[in-house]
A and B are shown apart, each in its own frame.
Chain A
Amino acid sequence: MAVIELKNINKYFGSGTSRVHVLSDVDFSAEKGQLILVIGPSGSGKSTFLTIAGGLQTPSSGDVIVENQSVDQLSKKQRDKLRLNHVGFVLQSYSLVPYLKVKEQLEFVRKVKPKGNLSDSELKDLLAQLGITDLVNKYPGQLSGGQTQRVAIARALYANPEIVLADEPTAALDSARVVEVGKLFKELADTRKKAVVVVTHDTRLMEFADKTYEIMDGKLHLKNTAEMGQTSK
């Protein structure tokens, strides 16, 4: 069953002759346990897709449904709550608060959202799974790019959301780290039953995805596995 659905989404920026049709009749859904990739070049509408899916901006038309709630009908506060409880964001940069140690990044989430997070033992397992157990006392400035992304993933997952939205999570990583992150997302989707949606221009992640969409000029197409030449399974 889909935990997030985008139905017939259109998004325009500007007006009159300068109006740009950024997303055009986009339909999309993701289920728990799936790693879904949305691939496209710069300016194709990937980030707009992600921010609309995460309830950060509203579509010009169409409906976004997260956990059976129509995001469009929610107030700003309710959307904050929806993101805090059901959606984990992993972003390309600025993901972590620079003056909080890794363990404090998680502690901060607990302070804002005291209930519904992973238990201490689940968190311990997660940190071990991500290979960052030894990094808990480090500041973001002391971490490598790959470590930063893993911590950002840990923070997103600590709140125990059903959906993880990742924006260019491999942008600053070398090939070895890309593979590492790809495997990790796949593993998290499989073992933790999360719907993981990654928007990226990095085709190296395709081998790990359950489904890959291509976004081009605001239109979203499902790429078939034959076209991709390989599957993640």
Chain B
Amino acid sequence: MYLALKEIRHEKLRYTLIIAMIVLITYLIFILSGLATGLAGENTQAIESWDAKSVVLNRDANVNLSQSTITDAQVKNAKLTKNQALIGQAPVVVKHSDRKKESAQFVGVKKNQYIAKALTPSNGRQARNNKEVVADEQFKADGYKLGDKIKFNSSSTKYTIVGFVKDAKLNVAPVVYGSLKTWQELRDFPGGRLAGSAIISKTANFNGHDKALKTYSNSYFISKLPGYAAQNTTFGFMIGFLMIISLVIIAVFLYILTIQALPTYAVLRAQGIPAAVLVKTIISQSLILMAGGIVIGALLTFITANMIPFGVPISFNVPMLAGMSVGLLLMGVIGAAIPARKIATVDPVRVIGG
């Protein structure tokens, strides 16, 4: 550690450049993971707010909420308790004469079931009748106001926004919560047999008691959201590649620096300085550089996160970032292993001659 710190302090420019590289990589990794988490969140925010453990869908819906339909008879057979709620989901375009059109997800809920009861608007109040809706705060950010009369798709029926709710997005679209009756109208099933799209349960393995229905765990249901897995895998690969790039960079830099300093290390070995001391030096040097880069990268990420405009899906999962930081430190240790080996095997005789 002693030699590592002294060298870094003495060779400021050289090590500042290396740290700058690590800062950029860390920053990129953190921002990418923030975007990945943010986007993933926009896929699932609404589902997570439902506190679901299991989801009952139509067996033939291919685990797709939009394709699932549940009949009145099936709901009756399922015997819902206070831990279950029926929802009806449909993609809609929200229209208002003075505001821009918004693509959204309509979620119909039953007033007396737990999802509707738990809905706590950050602004306004809960819907009291079929003509009232509660919308995600995205609408507020886009200029919609409480009391605005909105229409869905080409329907002429008007609905009033009576509340805005935080973090209510589904499939990267803001959610508009309304009644199941409105959902039936949107799906053109007024007075029909269809009751909703899915039964959401706060208990695991809730049984729908119907051969046409199937229960999925909430995590499986989320993993099957359209595009969700592909998007997460893409981000995962990008972050993984950046980790590998950081490993290569630290290894190359430390290798070059070690090769340059090899005669000095050889003399130190000749003087009886144990190889372990020198190996520890290169590893601690790598850890110092990585830690410095990670801390500055995290600070930059924090500043960016506070400056980024509303609407950009960015969210930080602190345990995940901590894990990535540990991963980067590990990359630093692995990157230092190659030059460390070079130091451990340096032959002082080659420098002195003889």
Contacts and interface: CB of A to CB of B under 8 A. Distances in A.
A197 to B, nearest CB: 14
Contacts of A54: 270
A95 to B, nearest CB: 6
Given A56-B270, A97-B264, A112-B277, A167 B6 contact: no
A89 interface: yes
A84 to B, nearest CB: 3
- Per DSSP, chain A at the interface is helix
Interface in A44-59: 45-52, 54, 56-57
Nearest to A50: B354
B264 A98 contact: yes
Nearest to A79: B272
B354 A85 contact: no
B6 A57 contact: no
A104 interface: yes
Given A51-B349, A112-B277, A167-B352, A84 B272 contact: yes
A97 B3 contact: yes
A94 B263 contact: yes
B266 interface: yes
B121 interface: no
Contact of B272 (A87, A91, A98, A99): A87
A28 interface: no
B2 A91 contact: no
B267 A56 contact: no
A108 B2 contact: yes
A111 interface: yes
A5 to B, nearest CB: 19
A82 B263 CA distance: 21
Interface in B304-354: 348-349, 351-354
A80 interface: yes
Contacts of A82: 272
B354 A51 contact: yes
Interface string B124-149: 00000000000000000000000000
B295 interface: no
Interface residues of B, number: 26
A179 interface: no
A49 B354 CA distance: 8
B299 interface: no
Contacts of B9: 99
A26 to B, nearest CB: 13
Interface string B275-307: 101000000000000000000000000000000
A32 B235 CA distance: 70
Contacts of A80: 269, 272-275
Contacts of B348: 51, 56
Contacts of A87: 272
Contact of A47 (B3, B6, B263, B352): B352
A219 interface: no
Contact of B352 (A83, A91, A111, A139): A91
A50 B352 contact: yes
B271 interface: yes
B274 A111 contact: no
B267 A112 contact: no
Contact of A94 (B3, B10, B266, B272): B266
B7 interface: yes
B6 A89 contact: no
A53 to B, nearest CB: 10
A104 B2 CA distance: 10
A99 B269 CA distance: 17
Interface string A85-115: 1011101011101111000100110011000
Q: Please give me the 5 A-B residue pairs with the lowest Cβ-Cβ distance, nearest first.
A: A84-B272, A47-B354, A83-B272, A99-B10, A48-B354
15 contacts: A46-B354, A47-B352, A48-B354, A49-B354, A51-B352, A52-B354, A54-B270, A56-B348, A77-B274, A89-B267, A91-B270, A97-B3, A99-B10, A100-B6, A112-B274
